[in-house]
Copies of this chain bind each other. A is one copy, B any other.
């Protein structure tokens, strides 16, 4: 089955944006559900996001296996994406990242909470998943479906989950939403660290968060404005 080229190009741009904004480095990946087959998703072969090109995008099944790997190595942690797409019909795009500013939250149990409106897309609650709870002493990578499904269970209906000693996973209704959630989660984490050292923090109320998150999937904040900006910064205007 042919995959249309436009979604693939957009996925490549998403890879480059996440690299340019410091949310991923040599590691991390972003995927989207196949536009024509909801039981499949698109994800790069094992390359760093900054280097991903159109030819690197492969098709995967919801068990995490490539439909046809074309001889390429695949990400060890592709199961993260598979399990989120499997469990969450509402999710069309997944980002997994070691977003640096979020790491201290995962290892101290400090709740990561949206502190300003553009970060509302993290969701009101960001649960923390600890692989050690069910799988004991591992290398912390999510290396199979059992581990990935356990992470997804902790994620529940939330938009994001912190992975202790590892990073974050985000599931969103659009690729744009997943990408911008990763960017602003990382920024919120840095600013929340600073605010907590300054005094008592007034977070967005649950009602404010619920109102503000609507902006991320439509209207002004969900529209072309930020995508055009991030794409330009990532050097992808011509793509």
Report whether B117 and A139 are in contact in the complex, using a CB–CB cutoff of 8 Å: yes
Complex alpha-carbon distance, A98 and B165, angstroms: 25
Contact B98 A230 (CB under 8 A): no
CA distance A208 to B214 in the complex (A): 40
Whether the pair A116, B137 counts as a contact (CB closer than 8 A) is: no
Which of B193, B201, B221 is in CB contact (< 8 Å) with A107? B201
A195 to B102, CA, bound (A): 10
From 171 to 222 in chain A, residues with beta carbon under 8 angstroms from any chain B beta carbon are: 187, 190-205, 207-208, 211-212, 214-215, 219-221
- Could you tell me if B25 and A229 are in contact, using CB atoms closer than 8 angstroms? yes
Copies in the complex: 4
Interface size on A, residues (CB 8 A): 71
Give the most central of A219, A228, A229: most B CB within 10 Å.
A229
- Residue in B27, B200, B228 whose beta carbon sits within 8 Å of that of A47 in the complex: B228
In the complex, 14 of the A-B residue pairs with CB atoms within 8 angstroms, ordered by the A residue number, are: A27-B221, A76-B219, A100-B187, A100-B190, A103-B115, A108-B195, A109-B199, A116-B140, A116-B167, A137-B207, A139-B214, A140-B204, A165-B202, A197-B197
